[in-house]
Amino acid sequence: MTQRRSYQVGTGLFIVLGFAALAYLATQTTSVANFQQGPSYTLKARFTNIGQLKLRAPVKIAGVRIGSVEKIDLDGTKLDALVQLSLDKRFNEVPDDSAAAIFTSGLLGDQYVSIQPGGSPEMFKDGDEFVLTQSSIQLEDLIGKFLVSGGPSKPSDDASKPASPKTDNDTQH
């Protein structure tokens, strides 16, 4: 009888150890570990182009992660992207004239939403929408513009342009 008990205890230990390892792998080494717990509130932002922004992409202020992208949808009438951001309730003092921008981490990394705080005394409330947004910068567009115009077209650059008068018209679009 003691023999039987010992192997049953051993089997139980083995199964518990196996599931503990699975739980550890699933919660500590995967993206689940980045999920925020606790209460959150939702803000909305409209972008003309979200680039490669994905669901659950981080939302950051000053580079610190404070939430994630909850939902990405297309507004059927305005034809722009409606992005819902879920922010940690602890950070509920975001001025309501803050701007939301889509940036890329590193040169080729994943995209995230960065919030640049404004100076308004009023704070964002649950369900509010950003007035100021900046879409993701398309690397292809930049390269295309660069190839066509031979450089970034700024008014101050005009002095160097007369060498190729034709491109001035092109950059006006």
User: Does the footprint of another protein cover residue 63 (CB under 8 A)?
Assistant: no
Q: Which stretch binds another protein (CB under 8 A): 8-16, 72-80, 124-132, 155-163?
A: 8-16
Among 2, 28, 169, 172, binds another protein (CB under 8 A): 28
Smallest gap, in angstroms, from Cβ of residue 137 to another protein?
22
User: Does the footprint of another protein cover residue 117 (CB under 8 A)?
Assistant: no
User: Does the footprint of another protein cover residue 29 (CB under 8 A)?
Assistant: yes
Q: How many CA atoms, within 13 angstroms, populate the side-chain half-sphere of residue 47?
A: 23
Gap between the Cα atoms of 5 and 9, Å rounded: 6
Gap between the Cα atoms of 34 and 67, Å rounded: 10
User: Does the footprint of another protein cover residue 11 (CB under 8 A)?
Assistant: yes
> Residues 143, 144, 149, 150: is their CA dihedral positive or negative?
positive
Gap between the Cα atoms of 151 and 104, Å rounded: 22
Gap between the Cα atoms of 124 and 91, Å rounded: 10
Q: Which stretch binds another protein (CB under 8 A): 26-34, 85-93, 123-131, 149-157?
A: 26-34
User: Does the footprint of another protein cover residue 55 (CB under 8 A)?
Assistant: no
Q: Token pair of 28, please?
A: 């500590």
Q: Which residues of the chain form contacts with another protein (CB under 8 A)? A: 4, 7-8, 10-11, 13-15, 17-19, 21-22, 24-26, 28-34, 110
